[in-house]
Amino acid sequence: MSPWSNFRVAMAFLMPAILCVMLLRLWPTVIAVHQSLLAPRATSYSLENYIYIFTDPLFQNSVWVTLLFSFFVNPLQIAIALALAILLNNKLPMTGFWRTAILLPVAIPQSVSAVIWAVIYRPDGLLNSLLAVFGIEPQRFVTSPEQALWSIMVVVSWIGVGYWMTMLIAGLQDIPKSLYEAATIDGANGWQKFWYGPCRRCAGR
């Protein structure tokens, strides 16, 4: 089969997906940009809408909160997921149970997760009851301007950590155990095998 024939076959398979992306993503984006460049009650293009929104304190605060959320929640999820993946990749008691328990929030619908955490965060909920045991006053959590963002980060991480942990465990298990055994023979400790990888040439560095 010639390269041109391969290209036509590939395009035949890809065309439905390409059309869906163009109709459902690209075309609405073009329409939205077009409408955003039209000033109110005007037919000519203008940056008035963008000037207004980027000088609006509420919008600026929203951007700042979004950046702060992304800056903390993504590294936090990956760090916790990596630690759990390394821990559960070893032969620990009830490893299968712990993997299932950590992955379970991913399978729970988000609406159900929201209800569960709404109950936990209630003034008379589970979390405040636990804090009361240690003599800590009840917290407002999602109703507090200072605590709401961090409370939401906890909920998002509770859902996302299990997903990333599963992906990382799959990657760790794909590494042949013989490479780790060779690194151990070369005198590498646990941190060196994690940081440098199961490579005989660099595990002893």
| Residues 71-95: tens digit of each pLDDT | 999 999 999 999 999 999 887 788 8
CB-based contact 117:159 (threshold 8 Å): no
pLDDT of 22 over the 90 cut: yes
| Residues 163-180: tens digit of each pLDDT | 999 999 998 888 888 888
In one-letter notation, the amino acid at residue 79 is: A
Q: How far is CA 147 from CA 115, 119, 139, 150, 152, in A?
A: 18, 16, 9, 5, 9
In one-letter notation, the amino acid at residue 21 is: V
Ranges of each domain in the chain = 1-55, 57-174
* pTM of the predicted protein model: 0.71
Q: How far is CA 5 from CA 1, 13, 14, 17, 112, in A?
A: 6, 13, 14, 20, 49
How large is the angle between the packed helices 110-120 and 126-133, nearest 10 degrees? 40
| Collapsed DSSP state (helix, strand, coil) of residue 183 | helix
Between CA 103 and CA 101, with CA 168 as vertex, the angle to 5 degrees is: 15
Fold type of domain 57-174 = MetI-like fold (1.10.3720)
